[in-house]
Chain A
Amino acid sequence: MALLELVNLSRSYGSFAMTKVCLTLKRGKILCLLGPSGCGKTTLLRLVAGLEEPDSGAVLLASRDVTGLPAHKRQFGMMFQELALFPHKSVFENVAFGLRMLRQSPAQILERTEEMLELVGLSNMAQRDVGGLSGGEQQRVALARSLAPRPKLLMLDEPLGALDRSLREYLLQEIRRILKKLEVTAIFVTHDQAEALTMGDVVGVMDQGRLIQVDSPQDLYLKPRHLFVARFLGFQNLLSGVAMPRGGIDTEVGKLDISNNDLKAHEKVTVVIRPEIAKQHVIGPELSRYHKIIGTVQHRIFSGQQYRVKMVIGKEMVLAFDLPNTEPPPGIGEEMVLWIDVEEIILIREGQKP
């Protein structure tokens, strides 16, 4: 059942406007809000948290309207981008803060705080000053602190922003493991698409104050429905195409044999070719599924798992592909033939621009 429901949530200030955001989140699921900075994801988070009030719309928690409820009565947890650890309190007192606010008994507080510190692996640092901890340790304290009072919903606002890459990847998995273990319902805000896809059970993409697509990570990646989403996921091979009356899409790289049943004749579409769907060789029976393109290699980089190549087709059309490292592609300036799996090609209709 839906734990959290957002109904037509709107908020504007200055030149920024967040318009009519609707969303439902099931109990125990992690929702990732993904978008560039300034898209309104933090604002949305603050509205859910009750740190700001919406101009209109409602926040429902288990079907109960909590829109007017102040932040400290919602029993939500939040992990801030800058962590916001209380600098004048020890690790233990930071984690225990929420429990003290619930007026739990000292015994309960001690037990729960130790349990939380154990969970994040900081049992031996309870009495330390938070100022003396490393970045990763501070992150764990912040997580333990927000989880200690058993929040109904946990919100994480780019909590890994300040850390270096390898630590980030490690902590990301840690956080997901802990959240899943405790069956916490959570909203995780990030501008990093890899982080969002790894972390979320559901990913919502935001742009200019609107929630434009909410899907599972797989569906979002394989079937982006908006040009913005495709661009934000990092897809570079975007071609303009036109639906042909007798089926297929006409593009700059030739006619693609794709079913276009739900398109009108001559309707304009954007064709997205993901970089990993091209092959250098195709065997007989599969041939009908593949579209052949020929071009000149402009750029070729070996990056370990794969070759990243850019090829020029015709005069100025440049497409980028990731090819398996098993077979080196032709050298720069040489001709290359690639086969593209047409069933993996994504069509985005015009007018679905965000």
Chain B
Amino acid sequence: MKFRLQTWLVVVPLFFLGIFYFYPLISIFFLSFMPEGAFDVTKLYKLVSTSYYVGVLWFTIWQAAVSTLLTVIVALPGAYIFARYDFKGKALLQNLATIPFVLPTVVTAAAFHALLGPRGLVNTILMHLFQLETPMIHMDQTVWFFLMAHVFYNYTVILRIVGGFWSRLPENLTESARMLGASDIKAFVTITLPLLKPAILAASLLVFVFCFTSFGVVLILGGPRYATVEVEIYRQALHLFNLPMASALALIQIGFTFGLIAVYTRLEKKVAVSLTLSGSQSVNQKIQTPKERFFVVSNITGMAVLLGAPLMALLLQSVLTEEGPSLVYYAGLLENKTGSILYVAPITAIANSLGYALGATLIALILGWFSAAFLVSSKEKWALVLDPVFMLPLSTSAITLGFGFVIALDEPPLNLRSSMFLPAIAHAMVAFPFVIRSILPAWRSIPQNLRDAAALLGASPLQIWARIDWPILRRALMVGAVFAFAISMGEFGATVFVVRPQTPTMPLAIFRYLNHPGSLNYGQAMAMSCLLMITTALGFLFLQKIKPRYGGF
């Protein structure tokens, strides 16, 4: 092994994982099973057997299932047209459709407020049109409000996974069925649907996991009447200070997400295997008949309305004041009003976010780099064990992580509760699996014979690294950095636990603005959401531009 150091550096990410991932998680276990220092399951059992606890769990499953079903129904036609037709602007449209997915949850919530909330664009227009005193649409604080938001940001998951699979299903399978006497519908039901099933299942499961662990939109759009497990952990821990209950809930959350992710991983492999049977050629036909044109155009229009309208509404609402269009909300971000709900000038929240994001990016890059270096150079056996371990933070909800931080790291031996580094570390924990996934495929894609060839041509190990490895890895590292930065900027779940009230981040500021009445608060929520949306969207579009060709994210 040439780079011994490269292998030993894995100690750094492992150390970090130990303290900032496993330690908090173990603390949750201890708090659940040993609430008063001694092993005592009865307390846990009492908590778990209450109708309240069961109710929260049931509601969480129910809303995730309904969201998933709605998303599949809404997105399947879109997946079909993306799989089968070739039209102008298809790639751009696909990228734009992904933006809702990468937006921070608070921005999504703000966008839906901007469109359909009591002060939202639609209600404002309707009130003007019909001379009404009160809003006409009452979506706020209902289940449908956040179910819609779930469809909004998960649309692209179905579109990409099912659409991608579908485009590789040979068209002549359905043609074959038609030649054998099956009508279009019959061919779809007997041939296409059974073949799509693993992809639909895998995508649905992923959407289910996202909705199961949904926090921000449920908290903001659902209001106090609704609680998923995530929201309930937050309330029990931060509002009611019932840590054992929060802990018991976190336990169930950990169990569920790990189970679901395990099933998903298996399904995903099945999808990859069953694809190898089909031909490699993907049919991309031009739109020909008026019927096809109508189908494609109406679908794209529907998609644009569902995905575009909330974002457009957000942009509009950030500049529309009661006195007409103005930038007053943006200007307000610079002022520090006395008695403000933020305690500090909004601009400080922006500065905090940027600071944490830079810190988180730096930490995530170092951890990701060291981990990837180990996975590339070590024996397969070790990589096989550690790769999933590094991915663990991905399958842990941010709320659980944040809660774990609070109960584990606020007392000796590690009292970091008031440390400025804590938010950055929490964000880095969430982001660093993404960094590994960005770097690793690139690193693995460098063929050894490239290095051998360079060595035979007289390059020293250092020169090889500088001329071959680095130029390829540089791009991947940049991708990882953008990922980490965007994740940190938008992170909400862990942030509500680890950030002190006097150092709010942008998502926290938006959350507080939305929670407090008043048009200025509302306008500032819109303005700040817009800034966050634009930052994230730009980051994402930049990623699409420099995206390496080999797999990864």
Contact = CB atoms under 8 A, between A and B. Distances in A.
Contacts of B183: 70, 72
B540 to A, nearest CB: 34
B278 A97 contact: no
Interface string B186-221: 110011001100000000000000000000000000
Interface stretch (A81-89, A307-315, A328-336): A81-89
B175 A84 contact: yes
A146 B170 contact: no
B172 A80 contact: yes
A102 interface: yes
B173 A86 contact: yes
B177 A97 contact: yes
Nearest to B183: A72
Contact of A84 (B170, B181, B182, B288): B170
A71 B277 contact: no
Contacts of A88: 194-195
A149 B179 CA distance: 10
Given A13-B286, A87-B195, A88-B194, A78 B176 contact: yes
A295 interface: no
B175 A78 contact: yes
A225 interface: no
Contact of A101 (B180, B195, B274, B288): B180
A97 B180 contact: yes
Interface size class for chain B? 20 to 34
B437 to A, nearest CB: 30
Interface in A160-214: none
Contacts of A81: 172
Nearest to B279: A82
B512 interface: no
A293 interface: no
Contacts of B180: 72, 77, 97-98, 101, 145-146, 149
Nearest to B276: A131
A51 B176 contact: no
Nearest to A75: B181
Which of A75, A80, A87, A102 counts the most chain B CB atoms within 10 A? A87
A97 B173 CA distance: 12
A321 interface: no
Nearest to B274: A87
A98 B172 contact: no
Contact of B179 (A14, A71, A87, A102): A71
Nearest to A95: B180
B433 to A, nearest CB: 34
Interface in A253-308: none
A71 B286 CA distance: 20
Contacts of A102: 181
Interface in A18-76: 49, 51, 70-73, 75-76
Contacts of B179: 49, 51, 71-72, 76-78, 146
Interface in B445-493: none
Which 10 residue pairs spanning A and B have beta carbons closest together? Answer: A101-B181, A98-B180, A84-B172, A84-B176, A78-B179, A71-B178, A87-B277, A80-B172, A72-B178, A82-B279
